[in-house]
Structure 1
Amino acid sequence: MHDGDEVVPVASGKLRVLLAALLCHANRVVSYEQLADLLWDGRPSEAANTTIRSYVKRLRRALRAAGGRIESHSPGYLIRVEPGELDTQEFADLCRAAEQDARREEWARCVHRVEQALALWRQSPLVDVPSPRLQAEESRWLTELRIEALERQMQAAVQLRRYEWAVAQLEQLVREYPLRERLHHHLIVALDGLGRRADALLAYQRVRQILDDELGIDPGPELQALHQRILAAQTAPAGSQAAAPPAGTGRAEVPRQLPSTIRHFVGRQAELDELTELLDTATRTGTPAPVLAVSGAPGVGKTALAVHWGHQVAHRFPDGQLYLDLCGFHPSRTALTPDDAIRDLLSSFLPNDARLPVSPSARAALYRSIVADKTLLIVLDNAYDAEQVRPLLPGGLRCLTIVTSRNRLNGLVAREGAHPVLLGVLPEADAYGLLVRRLGRSRLEREPAAARQIVDLCHRLPLALSVVAARGATSPQLSLTELADEMAGTDSTLDRFRTDPGSPDVRSIFSWSYRQLTDSAARMFRFLGLYPATSISTTVAASLAGQPLDTARAALRELASAHLLAEQGRDRFTCHDLMRSYAGEQAAQESPEATEAALRRLLDHYLYTAHRAAELLEPIRQPLPLGPPEPGTHLTPLTDHRQARAWFRAEISLLLTLVRMADEKRYDRHCWRLAWTLVDYLHSEGRHEDLLETQRIALAAARRSDDLDGEARVHREVSRANQLFERLEGDCPHLIRALHLYQQINDTQGQGRTYLSLAYLCARQGRYPDARDYSRRALEFAQQSGDQGGYAAALNSLGWCQAELGNLDEALRHCQESLDLHRRLGMRAGEAYSYDSLGYIHSALGDLDSAVVCYRLSVELWRALGNRLEEAMGLRRLAEALTRYGYTGPGRVVDRLAERILLDMGQIGHHLP
């Protein structure tokens, strides 16, 4: 203790315990009971309070002038400390500042802050304070804070490429903290950065053995992925691409996402050499890998160039190759937002059931963190403008990004220093060479004039030349003269894709390939024009065309052979946006009845699959009464909540598009039902704007369809969405309208669920008597309708309200009954809510042990279900209970865990019982 510039010693052990207890709770009252517990290690004497008063007097005298800061406040004492006077608080503030620096990737500042914090560290906290309980409480969180700060300092050092210094520090730290995987991770990265690959692999084997011996577990996915990257870099032969680890090993797979290279790619040698030279220069000089901006007209071969070159240099990017179509110029689909693009890119590194942070900024930070130390090739195809691309650019030195766009991307060139590569049509020799590659030199030499005419009619556009070449290759009986005459005789154009008066007539070029298709493939092609995306699975295509799966698969492969589609992977195909526009024009050949049936099958595929996914995510929810789907519809099979979340994550952009499309085309029953299925997924991902938008669209659709049940359901969901934006006005008019509608159609289950929603709303408003009354009504209607899930939820709601009103015994009975019923029904989310309520009630009853058990069980259930918001709020209530009963150290540790989750998600939620 300092009194001014003088150090004031406190010789007595008991007085040191007293002073430490007050300082550890600075500016807060520490009760006699807490002080006695710490002074006598849980065994205070009967005269403890009198003795404590004596100790306080002695401590005030020992501290001299500073003793006046110890003040009496019922039911104990506090010590007054000003900001900046307490070293533990200063240490914690510096550690938190360093954490924020790391989030902003301000690595040099992060290192400096940690150094400042560590300068305050002497030895184990409270080492000279003879109170095992106080040491256990305070040392744990301070020590954890120090280790986290050290981990952050090592991460910053690696980011700054201070490998030698980092290795020297980390080798000592991993001996001191052998179970901290992040320290081992940083050590392995630093060793690899120094070129000590063998040592890096040996370090991995050491940590694997330690974890197996001590905990009986394998290293986590990040360490395993790092190990695989180093192995791939070490074992890949020069000029080849390292093999990805075999499926099923439990290790993270290296992404290899480049589409198949163009077998008949020809020309562009000058551009290929230019790209390679830029990469070689960056490697040779140690400068950051460049951003390459490839631009040009539609069909000029931008994607083909990027993919072909990507395959040539793939072996130089051992951490993988990413590919993403940004849909910047899609004829009917909205371009990907940067946030949606980041979601897709993150899915390349995270398992399907991994939970993403909720806030866009947290997702962007996670993406940058994951790719920061990697050597990746990232192909961002079909970008609209620089603003779409800029948030996707990695911050690491070894990640090369190649962007393709119809726009020049001048903003990217000006601000990010991107290197522009402008593609024009092929030189005449290369255009002729493309035909030679596909049709054979002898065939062209027999009809040189016709070959030159074909090149001229295609305007040397690679896409057009590829389609013509495919037509000629599949029809060898046709002469080149006949092909040229056929082209010249077609008088149509895809006007919207003409970039200038000299651009090729792509519609005519596509038409003669289309006319050669079998009836089945032609029909499939026409229906693909109705599909609002470029990539489609065989299952969806079969539903759209109303064909058996085998027939649809054969038709899609025929289209791929004719270069009207490209095979993207097993049972997945993609269509160039120009080709898709042409397919949309051909769809007009179908009768209105056939078109409507196709759209119903498409919407049914996504509605029924989404409904199944929604049931798997939240079985407590009242399901939709769906009849059989349109004949010819095929569904995607889903069996558990992990598959459901992965499916939603892959399809959510298209699902949102389909809701809007159904609204525009007045498929009203599909519109509101499909929007209804998205509620829980959108809420769990924090996409609350999308949630509110889709429910407003759904409400209008339900009203237009005169579907009273649908309108009532959507009114409830609109109320729920409004509450997420803190719109808590009175008894929400949406819920009152829903109640009237359910009364009108005599739906007792719907009435019960609506009363439950009203109870939730009133609880959030603090109107607990009203919430209790609504909960009782919900119970009555659930009992009448036989809605066991609603009955269990209403019991929990009633118990929560009774607890808030002080009726703890009744609250305990209701919530325990709710828990038992949820267990019998297998509703794990309901179990988690009930455990949370029981934790709150036991805490209010003074039974801390039972409260802690219940809170922990609730948190574990939410974690298993992937609901990070409820997990965080459960941790926060556990922290409040621990602090309330004097366990402030553990309470702080738990609260910090909750704070991390909430900061990562970018929002603070409210508990809904």
Structure 2
Amino acid sequence: MRFAILGPLTVHDGHGNVPVAGGKLRVLLATLLCHANRVVSYEKLADVLWDGRPTAAANTTIRSYVKRLRRTLGAAGNRIEARSPGYLIRVEPGELDAKEFVDLCRAAEHDSRQEQWVECARHLERALDLWRQSPLVDVPSPRLQAEETRWLTELRMEAVERHMLATVRLGRHDRAVNELERLTQANPLRERLHQLLIIALDGLGRRADALVAYQRIRRTLADELGIDPSAELQALQQRILVSDTVPESREFRPVDVPRQLPATIRHFVGRQAEQKEFTELLDTAERTGTPAPVLTISGPPGVGKTALAVHWGHSEAHRFPDGQLYLDLRGFHPSDTPLTSDGAIRDLLSSFLPDDARLPASASARAALYRSIVADKTVLIMLDNAHHAEQVRPLLPGGPRCLTIVTSRNRLNGLVAMEGAHPVPLGVLPDEDAHLLLQRRLGKGRLECEPDAARAIVDLCHRLPLALSLVSARGATCPQLSLTTLTEEMSEKDSTLDRFRTDPGSADVRSVFSWSYRQLSDSAARMFRFLGLHRATVISAPVAASLAGQPLDEARAALLELAAAHLLDEQGRDRFTCHALMHSYAGEQAAREMPGATEPALRRVLDHYLHTAHRASMLLEPIRQPLSLDQPEPGAQVIPLADHHEALAWFRSEIALLLAQVRLTAEKGYDRHCWQLAWTLADFLHSEGRHEDLLDTQRTALAAARRTGDLDGEARVHREVSRANQLFERPDGDCPHLIRALRLYRQNNDIQGQGRTYLSLAYLCARQGRYPDARDYSRRALDFARVCGDEGGCAAALNSLGWCHAELGNLEEALANCEESLELHRRLVMPAGEAYSHDSLGYIHSARGDLGRSVASYVAAIEVWRTLGNRVEEAMTLRRLAEAYTRHGHAAAGHGAARLAETILLDMGQVGLHLA
């Protein structure tokens, strides 16, 4: 196979050209070839195929195009492989003209450094012969041509210049002059071509023509750019004036190579993965002949972005022989004056031009001059503290061998999307590296003498490099201070951020955070302050919207801005985390700027949790008696959960925060919220096997309900405390709770509540083996449910009654009761009740000697429990299935079911669970 893109796109399969018809297919093939042997993402392909405006069904359409392209290419179609997150095309050595061109140029560059000019010229002649026209001239993609043609064309011009250099070095001045006169006319601003022309003319003894050529480039630069020729060109003119010939051995490089990287951090630790990633990206670019990447290092303040960039830059400085530039763009400087792009270009130009050089009058001309100067150089360009993508974009070099590193507190998504920058997000240090940083600063011996204090310091600093550096500086300057004393000093501070105060005028954690905070929009700054009022550092968009009392879409926009500024970390859709020290800073700003906002915000958040949890609890267990809730506070967001699965997912994602809210409401005296929220969690906590949490929350709720004087609330919670006690095999403590609940329901004239409480008494008696009493309580529960029209209560009471009959040997009555219960649960669409009825029928059929129907019933129950995600009840049903198998002589099957049950409980940490 032979692929060619240095001109019209062609494919040759050894027998002839393979026609690739259709504009989109040609664009697709060209894009893959421009990134040969590398994966091109769906996002990148869509961007090129639709010129920055992809359709909603872009990915599906791309897959269709790939199938058509594979068919078009015939046997070569298998070269296109699906690789996450897109596709690549495999190209072998010598099969792609652009790759061959790059390889020949690199060989020629090596030859020139060894001054092997014959080989250099030969390699470049072969390379330039590969060009037929402009790259991809017949491919209808402005985006692709703009991106790929630019660097290939620039590399071709470098090859032409180096070929002319080799021609001059070999003394072929006649040939060189003719070609260079044509080239300088076509490229009047490329000083290197003019230098070579002047040398070639002088080499032919045409000194006057050489001086005329110098004056021509001098006037052109003055007229077009408003600058003088480079110091090197001026020196060349002087040598011609004072000597017979110009020394041809001189390399045309600036006399002074810029080495501007700041001093490397003496105590730098960690970040090995990121450094390896940088090196591999640079290695890949050199190996494949593709342009060096643009790296964007982003992260929150104080995380060590600049330290990483500088440390790696020093370690790889030898790979950039034309210099290393460094520029602080002051995007988050406390003076609030970020460096403009034009100001940055002026500073960068000063690295290459003499102090008295006259710069072009316009900003665009200065930018063009900057790109021209670095176009043929191998330079590391470090742009520190960028504010946004537009500040950086004009500073990106056009040359393929210049690697650019940009650090920012913002994500710079624009550079990633439009310039193909490689994003490198940076977080706090891993625990091991945080300890190592402390050790480097304070000495291994001090840490070994007080290991607990060292761990405490790392914890108090939350592994933020800036905080660790500030605290260790305090310890290093006071060697007589023990680490324990230092830890005590930190813990005694009234404010978390006061632990990291330094000398007046020096930057500390608070001031560094403030630089990012002041850059936020009003909406994002307001949201940031509200997040400081929330105790948790993990937050969802609906909670944030409730905190701020604003619509969900506005809250999302503010959260995304905070995440883009690395004041939050985005953990997934609508979920964010805030670093503990950043959270403390947000709380300080909230206290200072909106002191009266805490109470209303807390009420909105509590109502968000309560109303959403109540909806979720009713979806999990429709048989429950719904609560009579007050209307939520204006601005509180209630998530419209649609079904059981959404409810279960929400509970699982929010349970830690929900448990914290129960404790908070008890602490703050929101007693009604406390008992109601705890009540909504009961079924979920039971189904997840979180029985200690269930007991703790219900005990807290009981105290809160008693303080409110709410009879219904106290009765409900008494029943939940009884259920929790039963899970811990505490039957002696259960009955008084149920008797108290029954009295409260009677006092409140709640018929349904009394019926449900009799049902709870039936469950308790059954657990104690008191089946006659359990049967009587089940009958009472059924009677009360029928009186008040509680069909869910009827279905549950029938199942309980059937179970009691089965235990008493009344199998036919048991079968009738449980079959009626099953049908009623099905009609009411209560899947959990349906599963309980199936489970009871499995037990009854086993007792009747019908193993087949017993197994079928148990399996039906297990399938429902799995659908509902209730692993505890799934395990309990598996245990009873195991007993049925064993009872009927199928020991192996029984052992398998029992083992599966124990595996489930082991996974949940509930191996010792004993449930009826």
TM-score, structure 2 normalization: 0.48
Which of structures 1 and 2 has the bigger CA Rg?
A: 2
Q: Which has the higher contact order (CA 8 A, sep 6+)?
A: 1
> TM-score, normalization: structure 1?
0.48
